[in-house]
Structure 1
């Protein structure tokens, strides 16, 4: 490696690593010098380096000390140069740590992990999702992208925050979109419905373009934009307005606080829907037989997907094939 190449590498290295390398070089240099000057007091190079580190850090055990005037002059130079350098290094590391924490809270730090979930938009739905993931899938890694937040208390929320727009390539690259396994796009509550849907569709297009294999769930508010969201690349489209309208209707006409439907909605919050393949030992069996098998695991078989079509509560004598997928309702398990 040429001197020019070394200096290029050195100045491209993060400052705290450069300082650490400089401190280490100083200690080794002074350790060799004191061993050369006073071989009797410092019989090995290691002992010389030990003395240099202890003296330069101003700890001063006193187990090894120079005995000659020349050795003492070397010690003075070490205290002046090395001590100041060590102090400067510690101050730089502390400042870098504080800056990193601030940048992390402000969403400026890139995410380096893989197989994570990306949430687009910070709102009440996203907060509840994060809490559910934390409770039932604590090993899951979540990255949040939002353009309205200026900072987020990362110690309170176990997520990695990226500040920016979910439709911009630079923001998605910071979230390591190419290595993510799923993305959930929620509607922006600050926009009117049609504008929010257009923003969600634009986010879907951008994500699909950067990661063709990612699983995308997109929230849409207006019925007219559902088809556009699917064309944009959404694997699943959720229209939250449909569910909310149903809740309002039943709340309006329910008989009392113990209305069964109202209770049902609360119960569903502790359940999860799953799409699974037909177990090998149940291929060729009836839907009824399969239902009984799943009940033994406390899972409820709701229906199946056969030849691309969804069938909820199909005839009990329907024969299952290995090409079918089952729709199962299961309790959320930690």
Structure 2
């Protein structure tokens, strides 16, 4: 029996499942043949076989003849062993699937997600901030060369590979991504950082042209003199590395405690946050939007990157407006934006 089980374990899973099903089905007909009065139908016999091999044993059907009991013993020895082997293979499959996911070897099949290229501690903070956001609940897909996923979250997916490879970009679901952001390498010169980022951005632009896709690309740039090259590569938005730090330090020196204000606006773990909302069609001017939002505990602060709307509240709101408000999470969730 032990030698038989060793041979069965070596059978590939589809053949093993088929063999097990045929064995259970044959066992049902054998039991029905041995005790037709007891089991009444082959299905009743099959029900007894399945409750026996899964060790549930309801006791509604039991063998009553010696031949039936003898075959029941055979079923105990072989049938329970087979179900154990199959369950073990199922566990192995999930373990293997989990290992492939951790190693970044599985394709991302979702859509409307963020793709982030490059891993570092600062990137981790960016990902955490995105996942904490209640404004947009979407997945984050990381492309990098690390051996396994450096971060774990239900909405986080890792793809291992070269981000200039079109196969890797497709694996990360670039065709359906909301946007792609390329982060600069740590511990490298500005030229090396921006050179790598530019190469990746160019690969993304080439992919977009070849497949006729519109891909919104954001790039971290180490030196502002390189912005022109990134514009030529089709990058939509730029973030200069460490650009905010000297300005924040200057503000802290000039106005003690002012950094707390900026942290609250940028980090969702603090009280007041910046949220994007869609303008209501009944709002004709910024003033109408400002007053409606103020009554609900929110401050209208900008339209896109334009912070001057406070000085021109009577201007009409354009159709493509992107309004940003400042409020806490509770007030944001309770906003009633009626048409």
- Range with greater deviation from structure 2 (32-41 or 57-66): 57-66
Give the structure 1 partner of residue 6 of structure 2: none
Q: Does 1:64 align with 2:59?
A: no
Name the counterpart of 1:25. Answer: 22
Q: Secondary structure at the match of 2:104?
A: coil
Correspondence 1:222 to 2:219: no
Q: Matched residue of 1:328: which SS?
A: strand
Per-residue CA shift, 1:72-109, capped at 9, x if unaligned?
55445434443332121111112222222222222222
Matched, 1:269 2:239: no
- 1:320 corresponds to which residue? 316
1:109-159, CA deviations, whole angstroms, 9 ceiling, x for partnerless residues?
A: 22222222222222233222222233223832222222135343526x751
2:39 corresponds to: 42
The structure-2 alpha-carbon separation of the partners of 1:302 and 1:111, relative to structure 1 and needing over 3 Å to count, comes to closer
- Identify the residue that residue 97 of structure 1 maps to in structure 2: 94
Contact preservation (8 Å) 1:119, 1:143: yes
Q: 1:280–1:322: 8 Å Cα contact kept in structure 2?
A: no
3-state DSSP class of the match of 1:197?
Answer: helix
Partner of 2:300: 300
Per-residue CA shift, 1:200-225, capped at 9, x if unaligned?
23333333425723332221111122
Gaps of 5+ in 1: 1-14, 305-309
Q: Distance in 1 between matches of 2:57 and 2:303?
A: 75
1:135 aligns to 2:132 (yes or no):
yes
CA-to-partner distance for each residue in 1:176-212, whole Å, 9 max, x for gaps? 2222222222222143222222222333333342572
Instruction: Report the number of matched residues.
Output: 306
Deviations 1:208-247 (A, max 9, x none): 4257233322211111222332332322211133222323
In the TM superposition, 1:231-242 aligns within 5 A as 231-242=232-243
| TM-aligned CA distance change 1:16 to 1:110, over 3 Å | farther
Change (3 A) 1:319 1:152: closer
Is this contact kept in 2: 1:118–1:144, CA < 8 A? Answer: yes
Output aligned runs, 1:1-334, within 5 Å. Answer: 19-58=16-55, 63-65=61-63, 67-69=65-67, 71-72=68-69, 74-137=71-134, 139-152=137-150, 154=152, 158-208=155-205, 209=207, 212-251=213-252, 254-255=253-254, 259=256, 261-270=258-267, 271-272=273-274, 274=276, 279-283=280-284, 285=285, 291-297=290-296, 298-302=298-302, 312-313=307-308, 316=312, 319-320=315-316, 322=318, 325-326=321-322, 328-331=324-327, 333=329
What TM-score does the superposition give when structure 1 sets the normalisation length? 0.76
Q: Distance in 2 between matches of 1:231 and 1:273?
A: 31
Aligned mates of 1:227, 1:148 — CA distance in 2? 31
Q: Which runs of 5+ in 2 are unaligned?
A: 1-11, 268-272, 334-339
Q: State the secondary structure of the residue aligned to 1:183.
A: strand
Return 136-145 or 86-95, whichever deviates more. 136-145
Following superposition, the deviation at residue 44 of structure 1 comes to 0.9
Q: What SS is found at the alignment partner of 1:325?
A: coil
**Residues 51-78 of structure 1 deviation map (CA, whole Å, 9 limit, x = unaligned):** 2223334555553115153x45544543
* Paired residues of 1:275 and 1:328 also in contact (CA < 8 A): yes
Separation in 2, partners of 1:27, 1:49: 7
Aligned Cα root-mean-square deviation (Å): 3.3
Does the Cα contact within 8 Å between 2:181 and 2:219 map onto a contact in 1? yes
